[in-house]
Amino acid sequence: MTVPANPPDPSPGPAPDPGPALDPDPVRRSRIAERLLPGGAEPDPRFTLANERTFLAWIRTSLALLAGGIAVEAFTSDVFLEPVRRGLSVLLLLLGMVLSAGAAVRWLRVEGSLRTNRPLPLPLIAPLLAAGCAVAAAVVIAVVVLA
């Protein structure tokens, strides 16, 4: 085997571009973003987008509950007695309202955890949703069995 006459230069060459992470003048976040999510570092965009998809899933569920509450009030006058119909409708509407607010709070808490490398918070709106849907189902089952 022959040794080359000119061995490769061991110097690293030109310095690599530091990129946006090490830029001394990074793009600043908006005032509202700084106020809602102070401190921390920008998380991987995939995690932020996954958090947004989860938020939108909670919002879809909230919209379904709102639509269900409206439908119960509008179309079930011949199925339920007035107080039962009104109570079930209000339960579904309140559950949808609380769920949409809870989804926003959860999105902020998860995003804050991602930015500061803290453990993710427990989804406190999931047990609330389960309990509310169980009560609504129990009312419907009671009405069907008693009818």
Number of H helices, E strands in the chain: 4, 0
Which range of 3-7, 21-25, 64-68 scores highest in mean pLDDT? It is 64-68
Give the tens place of pLDDT for each residue, 38-77: 888 889 999 999 999 999 999 999 999 999 999 999 999 9
Cα 56 to Cα 96: distance, rounded to the nearest angstrom:
13
User: What 3-state DSSP class applies to 27?
Assistant: coil
Residue 23's pLDDT band, with cuts at 50, 70 and 90, is very low
- pTM of the full predicted structure? 0.73
Percentage of the chain exceeding pLDDT 90: 54
Where in the chain are the domains?
43-146
User: How far apart are the two ends of the chain, measured CA to CA in Å?
Assistant: 96
